[in-house]
A and B are shown apart, each in its own frame.
Chain A
Amino acid sequence: MTHHHLSLEVSRLAYAYPDGTQALYGVDLAIRRGERVALLGPNGAGKTTLVMHLNGILTAGHGSVAVAGTPVRRDTLKEIRQRVGLVFQDPDDQLFMPTVRDDVAFGPANSGLRGEELDGVVRAALERVGMLEAIDRPPHHLSFGQRRRVAVATVLAMRPEILVLDEPSSNLDPAARRELAEILRSLDVTVLMVTHDLPYALELCERSLILSDGVIAADGPTRELLADADLLARHRLELPYGFAIPAAAETV
């Protein structure tokens, strides 16, 4: 079996924190290149722990993670971190440099880009999230939604194989939420979106995974999973009040 068409492959991944708390109990999942997949699950299901494994911030206690066929190991970390673009939940954690330009340049500069080439990459990434005009502003002068878009640009500048977003819709007002959705839909990269915002998952991803108690409890078309009220209830997931799965409409 060839792996090159898989952006991400996780098999039998288990992990316990140094304090003994076990968070993952054998996670299996595979994401094909170009897919947009939502990872759903209640708080404490192990979502963040799983995400931390995808670029080697945590290393597997058991099992393996591979990005585009390259296993995540100590000696491949540098390569892996370029290929996996992690967008954190709080953009302030991600935007640590004094200006937007410096921040977007941080990753590519770490991998050796300089001068014109670096500038081109930075501008292109900001262009894709519609934030080019903010290039010389300090991040703390931007609105929350703008900061999240810049955070997406910081990882796009790394030309990642897969974009991993942790709760991308949290704290966004409806307009910012729609803008971000449009940006994500326009990107031609593999996306793994970790969220408990079910309508957002439905809007953006054809396929969803449910992570519950440290294992993948369900994997299928988002529409089908969200239509299964029992399944959702079992894993402490809930659609917003009054929200119904549009029966006839095609998935986006």
Chain B
Amino acid sequence: MGAGHGHRLYVPGDSPVHRLPAQCKLLAVLCFAIVVVATPRERFWAFGVYALLLVAVAAVARIPPGHIPRRMVIEVPFVLFAFLIPVIGLGERTTVLGLSLSVPGLWAAWNILAKATLGVVASILLATTSEPRAVLLGAQRLRVPGLLVQIAMFMLRYLDVILDEMRRMRIARESRGFEARNFRQIPVIARSAGALFIRSYERGERVHLAMLSRGYTGQMPIIQKMSASAGQWGAALALPLAALAVWGLSL
């Protein structure tokens, strides 16, 4: 579980996609996902064109081949679920390879698989080509509340510190012969979690003191201006606009 969370997706680079301001990319991916979700599931070719659009973006961004497929594992639980739907689905049934499957179930499975996959790949493209900090600042430009963005900034900054602490605690447990194998060991894990919470909380208080020491009064200073030109907006929004055109044609 959470195997995909061990490392972030960002891969530094200097492609045209990397250089676009994050708020443009964020809005583009969101609009693209909305168009995809709104596309009727019978339009096979539209989904095909959407996929080609994403491949084109990946090529422009010069993302190493293999990077995206590897990161798509995150989707696996829902893929399994999607495969289950035709088996347990209702309605008219058909026989495929000796299995009795629900026809509406097959459609639903296809619908979820296609849309979820396109959404995941679009998100991976965003996360791979944009620095996390820039994405959060971009979200703030898109009117996500500043306080929420600040919280997310602190979370990102201290995620590795806390995961490291957790790793050290696990090593300490395991070096004393502990293995999380059955129910009875939950108390040990819970004690670690409790200790981790105390450390996190106390660190939060120390960070707050460090901020106060340097003149913090509740507002983060906005240091750099992240504005996007019309051209950059145009370049980023080309993706959802192309998808929208495909959607329009498919009607």
Contacts and interface: CB of A to CB of B under 8 A. Distances in A.
Interface of A: 52, 55, 57, 78, 81-82, 84, 86, 88, 90, 92-94, 96-99, 102, 105-107, 109-111, 114, 118, 138-140, 154-155, 158
B209 A57 contact: yes
23 contacts: A52-B209, A81-B212, A82-B215, A86-B213, A88-B206, A88-B210, A92-B158, A92-B161, A96-B158, A98-B132, A98-B153, A98-B157, A99-B133, A105-B221, A106-B211, A107-B215, A109-B221, A110-B214, A110-B215, A110-B221, A111-B215, A140-B157, A155-B214
B245 to A, nearest CB: 37
Interface in B201-235: 203, 206-207, 209-217, 221, 223
B161 A78 contact: no
Interface of B: 132-133, 153-154, 156-158, 160-161, 203, 206-207, 209-217, 221, 223
B227 to A, nearest CB: 15
Given A110-B215, A110-B216, 15 more contacts: A55-B213, A57-B212, A82-B215, A86-B213, A92-B161, A92-B203, A93-B206, A93-B207, A96-B158, A98-B133, A98-B153, A105-B223, A110-B214, A140-B160, A140-B161
A147 to B, nearest CB: 11
Contacts of B133: 98-99
Contact of A96 (B132, B211, B223): B211
A84 B156 CA distance: 29
Nearest to A139: B157
Nearest to A118: B223
B11 to A, nearest CB: 15
A74 B156 CA distance: 33
A107 B214 CA distance: 5
Nearest to A55: B213
B214 A78 contact: no
